[in-house]
Structure 1
Amino acid sequence: MDVCQKIKGLAATYAPEFVAVRRYLHQNPELSFQEHNTCAYLKEQLLALGVTDIESVAKTGLLATINGSQKGKTILLRADIDALPIHEQNNTAYASKAAGVMHACGHDAHSASLLLCAKILLELKDDFSGSVKLLFQPAEELSPGGAISVMKEKAYIALGTIPHVGQHVRPDIPVGKVGFRSGKFMASMDELFLTVKGKGGHAAMPEKIIDPVLIASHIIVAAQQLVSRMADPKTPSVLSFGKVIANGAINVIPNEVSIEGTFRTMDEDWRKTALEKLDKLVTTMAEAMGGSCELKINHGYPHLKNDSTLTEDLRILAKDYLGDENVVELDQWMAAEDFAYYTQKNPACFYMLGVGNVEKNIASGLHTPTFNIDESALEIGGGLMAWLALRKLSV
């Protein structure tokens, strides 16, 4: 039996164990930078599998090592472990027990898949040379993200430049399929906080006030020029404002208005320029209308760029494992991911694992209170990661 068939057999045999692991994690989610119990549980699982080379990274993360029969190359496989501040609305036996906290982005599935991958790799230690690093990374969901902290750790720095592979669930891809994209794949993301100041007063006497609500309205509309008239049309850019607070009343104009939003793009030079232009635009517009505006920027993750050579290699290997018809080409995605930091320093590939199943009514989007996965995807996710790692180590 060849290695591919061995992996498929092991994945099928052991997957039910890791469905249980995924459900435990789903029931017991923890927010970014707070994953203490999650980390302890994952360490227990690794030790139970027989993985003893485990180092703590970024306080609540783990970096484990599985060595083959001989020395050789090294590859890193990453799963994120944190949850989101969302109250789950699924009526399942394994729904979140933590009020207002939910694994709504599939990090429970990422962790369970990587543990299944670890079990498969341990069974096949005699069939490969080299080392597989298993990174269970905290705090992907909250800027500045856990990746930055991991990359400062001595254990990580000692790895040097090695291939990094990350897998992420996507409910809009049917279970059984995976998706790849070479080059620029995901966007940078900066958080924007604007405070528009004026002079409040009675709504019936506009001549005696400087209306920050009106100023804010003009700013929101005018700021879209960044995308419509200042950005290169060939450069993906998204500017969105999702929160506006003008805490007045029907007959009360407030002194100030707060606006929050994000700016996303896939070009770091344009990113810097756009934010400078936005600052100038909102400041001068507010001043021209008699008020003022302060812009604070929380600089988030850079854009994620998949290494073309590694990604094309993994795409071919995925087709060998799943069949040509089950490997799809992805569009660029304007979501952001702190795996992007790894892609700046290493040959890296971040690909998508299909978990949707319309027939089972599993189709809710990421970051929604009804998000769920078809758990048969865990067998595919764990097996595929093991296959990709072993094949890359052998080349």
Structure 2
Amino acid sequence: MQDLLSRVKALAADGATDIVAWRQHLHAHPELSFEEVATAAFVTEQLRQLGLRPQSMANTGVVALIEGRNPASRTVALRADMDALPIQEQNDVPYKSTAPGVMHACGHDVHTSSLLGTARILTQLRNEFEGTVKLIFQPGEERLPGGAALMIKEGVLQNPTPASVLGQHVFPMLPAGKVGMRAGRYMASTDELYLTVRGKGGHGAMPEQNLDPVLVAAHIIVAAQQIISRRASPKIPSVLSFGKVIANGATNVIPNEVYIEGTFRTLNEEWRREAHGHLRKLVEGLAESMGATAELEIRHGYPYLENEPELTARTRAAAEAYLGIENVIELDQWMAAEDFAYYSQTADACFYRLGTRSEDGRNASSVHTPTFDIDPKALEVGPGLMAWLTLQELAATMAQNRATGTVATAEMSAAGAAEPDGMKSHV
């Protein structure tokens, strides 16, 4: 095992210069969600140069297989997202975004180039492992309904069906060379709230002649927080935030309506459904009690993300062997959302965080900011680590098969792939 680990590290070091160049190319040419045409073409070309046969999926998604010995025996899937954000970059670097108002501010250029690096390592080691590695380059993580949901619907988790799915995400709060993991429920579901409160506008000096929707909206915003403080169990993390309020009147003009946008997030699907009902009842009832009307649209977003405990334990042990136990950090639950959650609700999955901050504190800007950037060291750590995790997971699952007497054949794999998709029972 030690010899294989050394070989993976050597291959990662040898390829680091190319991976940095790939990342800088992608960073300079970002594309928004579901518009990743040039990005998908770049990924496809790199995979073909590795001797793989990439296929398109969900329009701008790309999927490819790396087959080792006995390829039907077991499959591990690796996922990277490819889309950028509508942010104007403020970094002054040679690879600064050339697309006005578009930037890789969430590190998806890192994820994509890193997975390409992992693919190159694994193709060079394909005689060293049994099974198949499925590479998933996914569009549209930043925009509902999420590229993961579309790719799953089109069969990305079939033919062959992976036993486990791994994904990594940049994490500027950790220095390059470290990773973070957490078993169980890790990231929140996310729903978008769009609320319109209607009254009767008029002169601000004569409120008795109007029906003030600004006052009604203010009551709704405050009262809605009681759903979190008094209707949710304290054991269930929940967040309700309103980030946009438009009351387009003036100092002396009461508007006819107020428009509000917000988000609701939690880590429990049953409570999520209940909270939607509480929100609708509160919004409509409170507005009516004050003589106004209100309409609430809830756009159902990503589910919560759960890291399967046994898979995460194996992944953590493999990461500790690769990086050292002191460089694998326990993560807190995080109320942000990720459409990798769809994979975690369908298959055993582990989503971990890749440190990207420089040791001297540079490159510490948060994701989704115009100054986000990374330490290039992360582009040596990320590909090699994911390759090592994949090799160890393939070996572990093969050992489990032999211990339980499970024999995988091409016919059995095909039969399993034909089973309809379904969400796991913990949803």
- The question of a shared fold, defined as TM-score above 0.5 by the shorter chain, is answered with yes
Match of 1:67 in 2: 67
Closer/same/farther in 2, CA of residues 284 and 155 from structure 1, 3 Å limit: closer
One-letter amino acid of the counterpart of residue 203, structure 1: G
Query: 1:157 Cα deviation (Å)?
Result: 2.7
One-letter amino acid of the counterpart of residue 68, structure 1: G
User: SS of 2:131's equivalent?
Assistant: strand
Distance 2:239 2:103 in 1: 27
Kindly indicate whether the alpha-carbon contact (under 8 Å) linking 1:161 and 1:345 is maintained by their aligned counterparts in 2: no
**Residue deviations 1:222-260 (CA, integer Å, cap 9, x gap):** 111111111111100000000000000111000000000
Tell me if 1:5 matches 2:2: no
Query: 1:290 Cα deviation (Å)?
Result: 1.0
Query: 1:392 Cα deviation (Å)?
Result: 1.1
Query: 1:161 Cα deviation (Å)?
Result: 4.9
Tell me if 1:260 matches 2:261: yes
Query: 1:155 Cα deviation (Å)?
Result: 5.2
Kindly indicate whether the alpha-carbon contact (under 8 Å) linking 1:212 and 1:254 is maintained by their aligned counterparts in 2: yes
Match of 1:39 in 2: 40
**Residue deviations 1:288-307 (CA, integer Å, cap 9, x gap):** 11101100011000000110
Distance 1:294 1:253 in 2: 19
One-letter amino acid of the counterpart of residue 110, structure 1: H
Query: 1:160 Cα deviation (Å)?
Result: 2.8
User: SS of 1:367's equivalent?
Assistant: coil
Q: Identity over the aligned pairs, expressed in percent?
A: 58
One-letter amino acid of the counterpart of residue 201, structure 1: G
Closer/same/farther in 2, CA of residues 250 and 155 from structure 1, 3 Å limit: closer
Query: 1:50 Cα deviation (Å)?
Result: 2.3
Closer/same/farther in 2, CA of residues 221 and 155 from structure 1, 3 Å limit: closer
Match of 2:416 in 1: none
Match of 2:188 in 1: 187
Query: 1:49 Cα deviation (Å)?
Result: 2.3
**Residue deviations 1:349-375 (CA, integer Å, cap 9, x gap):** 000000012625211001001111111
**Residue deviations 1:19-51 (CA, integer Å, cap 9, x gap):** 000000000000001111110011111112222
Distance 1:92 1:155 in 2: 36
Query: 1:159 Cα deviation (Å)?
Result: 2.6
Match of 1:234 in 2: 235
User: SS of 1:332's equivalent?
Assistant: coil
Match of 1:133 in 2: 134
One-letter amino acid of the counterpart of residue 299, structure 2: N
**Residue deviations 1:263-287 (CA, integer Å, cap 9, x gap):** 0000000000011101101111111
Distance 2:102 2:58 in 1: 21
Match of 1:350 in 2: 351
Kindly indicate whether the alpha-carbon contact (under 8 Å) linking 2:239 and 2:264 is maintained by their aligned counterparts in 1: yes
**Residue deviations 1:151-194 (CA, integer Å, cap 9, x gap):** 12245432335200000001011111001100000000000000
Closer/same/farther in 2, CA of residues 155 and 255 from structure 1, 3 Å limit: closer
Distance 1:131 1:61 in 2: 19
Distance 2:150 2:317 in 1: 33
Distance 1:159 1:271 in 2: 33
- Structure 1 runs not aligned, ≥5 long: none
Query: 1:149 Cα deviation (Å)?
Result: 1.1
Kindly indicate whether the alpha-carbon contact (under 8 Å) linking 2:176 and 2:359 is maintained by their aligned counterparts in 1: no
One-letter amino acid of the counterpart of residue 93, structure 2: T
Tell me if 1:55 matches 2:76: no
Distance 1:251 1:6 in 2: 72
Tell me if 1:123 matches 2:145: no
Distance 1:343 1:69 in 2: 27
* 1:203-352 → structure 2 map (5 Å cutoff): 203-352=204-353
- Report the TM-score, using the length of structure 2 for normalisation: 0.91
Distance 1:286 1:370 in 2: 42
Kindly indicate whether the alpha-carbon contact (under 8 Å) linking 1:203 and 1:252 is maintained by their aligned counterparts in 2: yes
Closer/same/farther in 2, CA of residues 238 and 155 from structure 1, 3 Å limit: closer
Distance 2:226 2:210 in 1: 28
* 1:71-150 → structure 2 map (5 Å cutoff): 71=71, 72-150=73-151
Computed over aligned residues only, the root mean square deviation of the Cα atoms, in angstroms, reads: 1.0
Distance 2:247 2:132 in 1: 56
User: SS of 2:360's equivalent?
Assistant: helix
Match of 2:203 in 1: 202
Closer/same/farther in 2, CA of residues 40 and 348 from structure 1, 3 Å limit: same
Query: 1:125 Cα deviation (Å)?
Result: 1.4
Tell me if 1:369 matches 2:376: no
Aligned pairs, how many? 394
Match of 2:31 in 1: 30
Kindly indicate whether the alpha-carbon contact (under 8 Å) linking 1:219 and 1:285 is maintained by their aligned counterparts in 2: yes
Kindly indicate whether the alpha-carbon contact (under 8 Å) linking 1:190 and 1:262 is maintained by their aligned counterparts in 2: yes
Kindly indicate whether the alpha-carbon contact (under 8 Å) linking 1:30 and 1:101 is maintained by their aligned counterparts in 2: yes
Distance 2:322 2:225 in 1: 45
User: SS of 1:224's equivalent?
Assistant: helix
User: SS of 1:69's equivalent?
Assistant: coil
Distance 2:136 2:321 in 1: 25
Distance 1:49 1:161 in 2: 22
One-letter amino acid of the counterpart of residue 182, structure 1: A
User: SS of 1:351's equivalent?
Assistant: strand
Distance 1:45 1:332 in 2: 35
User: SS of 1:366's equivalent?
Assistant: coil
Query: 1:127 Cα deviation (Å)?
Result: 1.0
Distance 1:351 1:35 in 2: 24
